[in-house]
Amino acid sequence: MFELFRRNRRTFLRHVLGPSAVGAAVSGRLSAATSKKKARSPVARDVLGELGVRTFINAAGTYTRLTASRMPPEVLSAMQSASTRYVDLQELHEKAGERIAEMLECEAALVTAGCASALTLGTAACVAGASEENVRRLPDTTGMKDEVVVQKAHRNAYDHAVRNCGVRIVEVESASELEAAISEKTAMLFFLNHQQGAGQVGHEEFVRIGKRHSVPTMNDAAADLPPVENLFQFTKMGYDLVAFSGGKGLLGPQSAGLLLGRKDLIEAARLNNSPHSDSVGRTNKVNKEEIVGMLVALSLFLERDHDQYWKEWSRRCRRIAGVVDGLRSVETEVFVPEVANAVPHLRIRWDYERAGLDPKGAAERLRSGEPSIEVRPGSDDGLVIGVWMMAAGEERIVGRRLRAVLTEALDSAARA
């Protein structure tokens, strides 16, 4: 499956990896801003500190609002190096796309401004195609196929990026409804990967229906890395387009993403994209730094020892659990979400009523404490800690703060 990538393995290693890259990435190097010597150089100016912006330990995960992830030093240095020279943006887009397609064993690839941008550009490719007139006209879809069929369970906030192309979303539930909804107006069938278990139509049937009616299919797999196999399997399964975030599990630039798939569609996506000024994608600019950073982040991700990362994340969960296990009524559980952010997380429950403190209240105390800690938002079942975006060692601080918050609540309850 990874044959091409294996063949190029040594080249990747030589170009993008130092010998200790995995260790360094796992252990997470602390900011150079703490070193006195570096603090005098202009690149180390601490703007966040100057502005008084709160910084925190990310015990949540790859959430955009929390700035999601930190780029490995290899990514940053490649971006910095690229930033000192000029290139033709189109040429870089094409060559980087070719290299990425080789690495991922797919027909073609485009570095986009995040996964949301990949969704817009992929849709634009299906609606406007490569016609210059159509590219200029979007989001007015006059004379174009302008319906996108989606399973009801796959509707989500990010499909706004699809709707940016002026299309109408047609919702269906069953496979027969899906087929019946397809007409000469249908531009694309849209699938949301993390809802694969929720809709009635699974991957294979979805792709088969698309092929049978010659309508392109797109899979939004933004947050579905790891497992690394996802970078290969959806294009091989027959999806015409697959979209990933560059700044989530891949640890690339926040403002980067990947659109993979059929050559003609990727070419059309390019024409609907910046630097073409009169296009729907002109708001989706990526410059050379993001393109280069995305490529290096992807190489690092493909090369790394995924088992080692998994073990380290599990160890962090167990370590935090070990610090709070044994407190009155406290229960901990390590779990892995089935899809999307499918890495070890820690769930902590306690007697909320007795403690006079629920998970939301505990999250607020962790946030306002010192150092500030953000936990995974949006859980209505316990306090959930995401350990994979922390720097090594921060799990000790999180464990200590969590123990203090819970002990205080449970002790004062016991005294009352």
Ligand X SMILES: *Cc1c(COP(=O)(O)O)cnc(C)c1O
Residue ranges binding ligand X (CB under 6 A): 64, 114-116, 158, 194, 220, 222-223, 245, 247, 257
**Cα separation, 72 vs 78, whole angstroms:** 10
Angle at the Cα of 101 from the Cα atoms of 100 and 103, rounded to 5 degrees:
60
Please identify, using beta-carbon distances, which residue of 249 and 359 lies nearer to ligand X. 249
Specify the residue, 104 or 330, whose C-beta has the smaller distance to ligand X. 104
State which residue, 235 or 245, has the beta carbon closest to ligand X: 245
CB proximity list for 162: less than 8 A, separation 6 or greater? 119, 120, 123, 148, 169, 190
Q: Specify burial of residue 99 (Cβ count, 10 A radius: 0-12, 13-18, 19+).
A: middle
Question: Residue 334 in contact with residue 344, Cβ under 8 Å?
Answer: yes
For the CB of residue 193, give the shortest distance to ligand X in the complex, in Å.
7
Amino acid identity of residue 71, one-letter, is M
- Closer to ligand X by Cβ: residue 210 or 247: 247
User: CA of 281: how far to CAs of 1, 42, 240, 269, in Å?
Assistant: 33, 34, 19, 8
Residue (248 or 316) nearer to ligand X, CB: 248
The SS3 assignment for 16 reads helix
Is residue 284 within 8 A of residue 58, CB to CB? The reply is no
Any idea which residue has 């990362």 for tokens? 309
Q: How far is the CB of 68 from ligand X (least distance, A)?
A: 7
8 Å CB contact between 252 and 298: yes
The least distance separating ligand X from the CB of residue 297, rounded to whole angstroms, comes to 12
Nearest to 109 by CA among 99, 119, 97: 97
- 203-212 vs 230-237: helix crossing angle, rounded to 10: 40
Q: Please, what is the minimum distance in Å from the beta carbon of residue 221 to ligand X?
A: 8
Rg, the chain, Cα only: 23
Closer to ligand X by Cβ: residue 69 or 134: 69
CB of 304 to ligand X, least distance (A): 20
Q: Name which of 114 and 122 has its Cβ closer to ligand X.
A: 114
* Cβ nearer to ligand X, comparing 64 with 131: 64
Other CB atoms within 10 Å distance of the CB of residue 46: 12
Q: Which residue is nearest to ligand X (CB)?
A: 114
Report the nearest approach of ligand X to the CB of residue 148 (Å): 15
Shortest Cβ 131–ligand X spacing (Å): 26
Q: How far is the CB of 158 from ligand X (least distance, A)?
A: 4
Q: What is the spatial distance between Cα 111 and Cα 257, in angstroms, rounded to a whole number?
A: 6
Q: Which amino acid, 176?
A: S
